Structure 1
């Protein structure tokens, strides 16, 4: 019988002894269990965990090091260029002027003019925001040579009487405005000359032109010269040179304006968005080289850029511009600033209501402590160019001697602008029958001198700001969204362009003033609206915006959610969302970015329907009513804030540079709001600054702020990593 063995003997004999030397079975780290009652994380809770903030801290640290290094060298009596470390000395030398703004470019583009300059410049350079490219025919020869303003033909013939050239509706509106002005002047005890219109018409009927030879004209124009061989002609011209190309040039050139009505891309004259963006790049690039003297593009990497955008912008516009500044131009850093905030920076106001009247848009916004009040932002699609066209229509109605004037021709457009700024006024005391003359200068023709009489047309044209339905709005929505779609949220696929209650009120008024526009053309076809649910009740934009199920400004997200496997794909038409078959109320939708989103109900379809409806309505509203609407929306019922905004109204922009315009507008506002008659005040820009340059001046002031106080710069290296998502952390407003 075998005796009993001990445990150690069994381990030794049976091989059960441990021989692994306490080594782990895996090299993966062992994660301890989390205490469910008390655990803590610091993920995304510190600024240094964001690349955008780390870049700013590194920049501030480098600037501090350079500053102390320069102080030490100054105390030691060592010049930066004579230092031992040449690379560090050059870097320090390049950093010194930047603090004074010589390395910062401020760009403010508009529908008609581009204002650009260095931040330390007293005034910017202003150039036309246009480009002339070789084309089959020029802009005045298109559409069969139809002129602008458009004349109404009867039986394919133009009536002999100019009173019938623009239709009965315009004649009624013009006569009504003249009667209202006469009544107003009588109430103000103004003297009226009887038969004033007859005096003007009878004189203009008898006027003939006087020919002046070119060598006798002391103010002859230097036209853009083209080489004799058309094959050697440049492919394009930009700025003022584009407007001075002869109409009958060989080869023909057509002038394009890439931006229309403020921040809208000119989709009416372009068929490809890449060509549109390329023209904007060429205009800005040529302006930087010619006006700022920065010929070598490789040197632009040392420069920063402050780009001024509208208050009520489109996201596609901002992201496209940011990509151009970073990748095409290669700037070291860039930042965006809203127009109204820039105006307050330029004027030194802390609380103000900014009324910016440009060439083709009028924006209104209340600014409080350097921030735009979001619900007060308003962008109306009329401006100084509409006044020019209306002024010419009124002059032609009263038998203007130069009957062939066509605003599509370059020299006629410049002539009309000259006559508007010379004669238009808002002062009733100057309204009387006057006589004046002008010179018509065209390439290859002798100068013609005309004399003409005018009466109240000079005041009725700018008064149309308070009656905007008189303007011609027929082509402003043509081909809207034809090549560039709106921006969509990457998370839920809903349109996320910013809007406001003030803009919604303007759209509501516009829907009653102007006839509805048809669905925009996309790729040559009319877009079907079946993707949005139909409603039997009357359309009310205000009630739909205030619906709690609809977000006014949907949130942004980093990435979209992919569709699960087996989900039926929707049918996309021209890049637009359409419902899946069998679910006509929305369901799964693919947005323009190709991301499939899901709607448990018709909330998403309602948001898309609301955006579609907005695009079919042109925002137009009387200027005085729009200002009061914006102020009341910005004050949010606060009486003190309302009085502050009423007393801080400032009119900027070139569309309102008429004598006595501010006083006339102030009187209109007091008539509409007698309770605030003592508070309403419209002040001019301080220090006798040109109101056209206030916005640019504010951008230059903002750009010269120190880096430690300005955290809105987007640097190139962080843009390469994060792209346009940086704007959520960099913008001073709610992106």
Structure 2
């Protein structure tokens, strides 16, 4: 008889007995589930958890410690019988500041001698120490060895481009630029005569025929080189092509003979305020050229030859108001890595202009060589929705002036702006003879000297009439400019910046710029309304009878083939915004940013910027209209300020007493006001939190810009 089996024996026989030692399966701590109805975290909610802010607090603490130690040292060394400053009096002293090593800066060092201010442009680079009174101006160009020069490319096609007959010969001067240019030019001449007669100015009926007949029969006078006291010193090239330098920058590049051996080609890294993607095959070459031009300017103009010492210097870099994020981030990379500065900060152009002029509130109009920017500034901040960036400037006036002169049988008919000496000659002629004073319009006799390498100097005499005024008047009738190549190569190398979370473009947008694009392209809605209709029920500064504002676009290269007219004033005296763009409009404007060239008349653009900056506030509108400040080299035409003021008053007759065009105070050169503002910004001590140091950049990179920029990054 089998006895009864115990339960333990059965478990052992069946293999079900527990054999572990009651230990947990893992030593990792168990995390309980979060109660999602009520939980809280402090992650990145305190300043000491954010590296840039924590370093800033430590810097302030170190500065206060150094000042306290210095004060105690002075008190200990002072004679007890002599009166000494109290702690309160010493706190009122000027803050001398500290350098990166924590050393106290004194004397000239505290006034900006360790800060380099850089303001690049499409044609010129302005650079200097913050302690300098004026900047050094260097052409923003580099010449590199190439198979052929820029004047020999494209079969030697000149600039401005001339039309040819079927047999390959050039057309007559009146037809060489096409019927569209000839008709617009003739209309501008007729309108000027009507305007001058209405102002009781004397107009000779046959003035145009007189100058044309004179220019047709004005042969040049040849002057031998030894009899020319103002002959040009050309850049010397080594006799052996292999020993010739790989590149030249600045003025030396412009003085290289076009037929040099070896050949050199000029590269302008910036065009119309954008990266010049047309002339480059790789974006690395484009970035390297910008760094090389700045590096050579620092060595030659500032006499800072040893690059390893630049870590002791800070850099204030001036960027456009309506910038591209890729441009800023790449510039930061270049300044930190390639040039090796110890610290870097950025400031926008319009804000720098107010710093340099000492204005607290202004509508800044910066007319450059190839770009015109407009922005309203109030109490140290650029109003984001008022920013406008137009793609024309002084270089367009130069080219248009030459086209008008050639149309009127200019005696030097072979002028080619792609040749270096002709380019410099055209800039000189524009600077000397162009004006916007109607009182100076009469048949006048002028002369100039043509100096080319390896050729005798030639002296030309010519007559001008209304060309000297109609060319700069193109700012207010930009259809006369040649805009056909300004979008060529756009986005060929460098793509726009995209948000890493949402995936869409994240370049800054402006409702004023969106309004400009909507004027050019009627297919873009403005605030859900048709073009020229504001959502607040007020009339926008667009004519009731809409002019032709559409840029016809070629499907192959998206090049605008026509330009726009100048809108006429409306009957309403209140400058309301051109539309009230919403999110949809900004998205559409951003998507069309690379396809539509922003070109409208300057007076309309200024009123649009002020309307969007004031946002319907009557008092603020008057303040902006009474403080329009014009800077930049493109506006340095005699009579430009009064002409612009007259145009604004024609568009806004209800503000005749308020519209004032201001000039920079203290007799500052308008071309250097923006740079001067950057130098003032670079010398701020204790209140400037925009500096980016090397250590924090190594750790966070371009993400620092969200904490360091003075505007919403």
1:377 corresponds to 2:387 = yes
CA distance in 2, matches of 1:24, 1:151: 89
- Does 1:663 find its partner at 2:673? no
Q: Does 1:714 align with 2:692?
A: yes
Asked if the contact 1:516/1:616 (under 8 Å) is kept, the reply is no
Q: CA deviation at 1:273?
A: 0.3
User: Where in structure 1 are there 5+ consecutive unaligned residues?
Assistant: 1-19, 79-87, 523-541, 553-606
- Separation of aligned partners in 2, 1:286 and 1:394: 37
**Contact 2:388-2:510 at 8 Å conserved across structures:** yes
For the 8 Å contact 2:164–2:171, the answer to whether it is kept is no
Corresponding residue number in structure 2 for 1:626: 605
Once the two structures are superposed, the pairs formed by residues 408-423 of structure 1 within 5 Å of their partners are: 408-423=418-433
- CA displacement 1:25-52 (0-9 Å, x = unmatched): 9976787998888765432222111101
* Matched residue, 1:52: 52
SS of alignment partner, residue 436 of structure 1: strand
1:646 corresponds, among 611, 625, 629, to 625
Note if contact 1:719-1:726 (Cα within 8 Å) is conserved in structure 2: yes
What SS does the corresponding residue of 2:604 show, helix, strand or coil? helix
8 A contact 1:631–1:642 mirrored in 2: yes
Q: Distance in 2 between matches of 1:318 and 1:428?
A: 43
Judge conservation of contact 1:211–1:449 (CA < 8 Å) in 2.
yes
Structure 1 residue 613: deviation in Å? 2.6
Contact 1:647 1:680 in 2 (8 A): yes
1:320 aligns with 2:330: yes
Give the equivalent residue in structure 2 for 1:61. 61
Cα distance, 1:90 vs. partner? 8.9
CA distance in 2, matches of 1:399, 1:664: 28
Q: State TM-score, norm by structure 1.
A: 0.82
- Per-residue CA deviations over 1:506-553 (Å, capped at 9, x if unaligned) read 11223353533345769xxxxxxxxxxxxxxxxxxx9999455x484x
Question: Which residue is 1:616 aligned to?
Answer: 595
Match of 2:81 in 1: none
- Which residue does 2:262 correspond to in 1? 251
Task: Report the CA distance between 1:99 and its aligned residue.
Answer: 2.3
* Residue of structure 2 in register with 1:359 after alignment: 369
CA distance in 1, matches of 2:681, 2:578: 39
Counterpart pick for 1:490 among 477, 496, 500: 500
Q: Which residue of 1 aligns with 2:669?
A: 690
2:533 maps to none
Aligned counterparts, 1:118-517, within 5 A: 118-159=129-170, 161-262=172-273, 264-511=274-521, 512-513=548-549, 515-517=551-553
C-alpha separation in 2, matches of 1:349 and 1:334: 25
- 1:531-680 to structure 2, matched below 5 A, reads 546=581, 548=583, 550=584, 552=586, 607=587, 611-680=590-659
State how far apart, in whole Å, the 2-side matches of 1:115 and 1:688 are: 18
Preserved contact between residue 517 and residue 589 of structure 2 (Cα < 8 Å): no
Q: Which residue of 2 aligns with 1:42?
A: 42
**2:118 pairs with 1:107:** yes
SS at match of 1:174: helix
Q: Secondary structure at the match of 1:389?
A: helix
| Match in the other structure for 1:734 | 712
Deviation (angstroms), 1:660: 1.3
Q: Could you report, residue by residue, the CA deviation over 1:140-166 in whole angstroms, capped at 9, with x for unpaired residues?
A: 000000000000111143345211111
Q: Pick from 670, 674, 679: which aligns with 1:700?
A: 679
**Structure 1, 67-76 or 492-501: larger mean CA deviation:** 67-76
Q: 2:117, 2:129 within 8 Å by CA — same for their partners in 1?
A: yes
Measure the CA separation in 1 of the matches of 2:342 and 2:293: 20
Rounded to whole Å, the distance in 1 between the matches of 2:704 and 2:101 is 31
- 1:710 offset after TM fit, Å? 0.9
Change (3 A) 1:76 1:244: farther
Mean Cα deviation higher: 609-618 or 426-435: 609-618
Residue of 695, 701, 705 corresponding to 1:723? 701
Change in 2 beyond 3 A, CA 1:506/1:551: closer
How far, CA to CA, are the matches of 2:414 and 2:73 in structure 1?
Answer: 71
Contact 1:97–1:103 under 8 Å retained in 2:
no
CA distance in 1, matches of 2:578, 2:194: 39
Q: 1:519 to 1:322 in 2, by over 3 A?
A: farther
Distance in 1 between residues matched to 2:663 and 2:704, nearest whole Å? 37
CA offsets, 1:590-612, max 9 Å, x none?
A: xxxxxxxxxxxxxxxxx5x7544
Mapped contact 2:375–2:386 kept (Cα < 8 A): yes
Indicate how the Cα distance of structure 1 residues 726 and 377 shifts in structure 2: closer, same or farther if over 3 A, else same: same
In structure 2, C-alpha distance between the alignment counterparts of 1:340 and 1:630, rounded to whole Å:
13
SS in 2 for 1:616: coil
Change in Cα spacing, 1:37 to 1:613, as seen in structure 2 (3 Å) is closer
- Per the alignment, residue 579 of structure 1 pairs with none
Distance 1:384 1:479 in 2: 22
Distance 1:38 1:403, change over 3 A: closer
Q: Distance in 1 between matches of 2:198 and 2:48?
A: 67
Q: Runs of 5+ in structure 2 lacking a partner?
A: 1-20, 79-98, 522-547, 559-576
SS at match of 1:475: coil
Residues 232-269 of structure 1 show CA distances to partners (whole Å, capped at 9, x for unaligned) of 0001000000000001100000000000101x100111
Q: 1:722 to 1:160 in 2, by over 3 A?
A: closer
**CA offset at residue 55 of structure 1?**
1.4
Per the alignment, in what secondary structure is the counterpart of residue 279 of structure 1? Answer: helix
CA distance in 1: counterparts of 2:250 and 2:501, whole angstroms: 41
SS at 1:497's partner residue? Answer: coil
CA distance in 2, matches of 1:545, 1:617: 20
Q: For residues 99 and 504 of structure 1, what CA distance do their matches in structure 2 show?
A: 43
* C-alpha separation in 2, matches of 1:365 and 1:296: 39
Q: Deviations over 1:625-647 (max 9, x none)?
A: 11001100111011111001000
Q: Deviations over 1:186-225 (max 9, x none)?
A: 1111111231011101111111111111111110111000
Tell me how far 1:65 sits from its aligned partner. 3.5
For 1:72 and 1:436, the matched residues in 2 are separated by: 72
SS in 1 for 2:491: coil
Q: 1:242 to 1:205 in 2, by over 3 A?
A: same
Offset of residue 70 of structure 1: 4.5
- Which secondary structure state, in structure 2, belongs to the residue aligned with residue 386 of structure 1? helix
Deviations 1:328-387 (A, max 9, x none): 111111111100000000111111100000000110111111111111100000000000
Describe the SS at the equivalent of 1:367. Answer: strand
Q: In structure 2, how many angstroms separate the alpha carbons of the residues matched to 1:219 and 1:66?
A: 58
> How far apart, CA to CA, are the structure 2 residues paired with 1:356 and 1:671?
22
My pick for the range that moved more, 246-255 or 187-196, is 187-196
